[in-house]
């Protein structure tokens, strides 16, 4: 097991997964933990990378598609639960990191 933590920008998020923008390449099949901060609250869920695309013309920028792993039921601190609650409009300044 290799542990690595870095910041990402969330492009799109839903109850089943998300699209992030990263300065790092993340290989398809990678399994990890995504933590997201909305306002003062932090949420987390297990993820698996299902898609990777380097953005042409944007040096070192990658779009990474992730699917949430359903190893546990959504709980109050899971991203899936937060998305269900805040589906209308998440607070400005949302940021995340992959662990």
The answer as to whether 1 is a domain residue is no
The answer as to whether 99 is a domain residue is no
- Domain count for the chain: 1
The answer as to whether 67 is a domain residue is yes
The residue among 80, 60, 61, 62 whose CA lies nearest residue 70 is 80
Q: Residues 22, 62: contact at Cβ < 8 Å?
A: yes
Q: What is the pTM of this model?
A: 0.76
pLDDT band for position 95 (50/70/90)? low
Residue that wins the pLDDT comparison between 19 and 39? 19
pLDDT of residue 90: 47
The answer as to whether 41 is a domain residue is yes
The answer as to whether 59 is a domain residue is yes
Torsion sign (Cα): 62, 49, 68, 46: negative
The answer as to whether 98 is a domain residue is no
- Domain holding 77, by residue range, is 6-89
Burial 20-59 (b: 16+ CB within 10 A, else e): bebeeebeeebebebbbebeeeebbbbbebeebeeeeeee
The answer as to whether 56 is a domain residue is yes
């Amino acid at each position: 097991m290799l542990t690595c933590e870095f910041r990402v920008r969330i492009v799109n998020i839903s109850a089943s997964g998300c699209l992030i923008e990263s300065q790092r390449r993340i290989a398809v099949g990678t399994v990890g933990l995504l933590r997201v901060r909305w306002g003062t609250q932090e949420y987390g869920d297990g993820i698996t990378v299902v898609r990777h695309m380097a953005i042409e013309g944007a040096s070192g920028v990658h779009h990474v598609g992730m699917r949430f792993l359903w190893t546990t039921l959504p709980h109050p601190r899971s991203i899936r639960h937060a998305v269900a609650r805040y589906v209308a409009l998440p607070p400005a300044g949302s940021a995340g990191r992959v662990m």
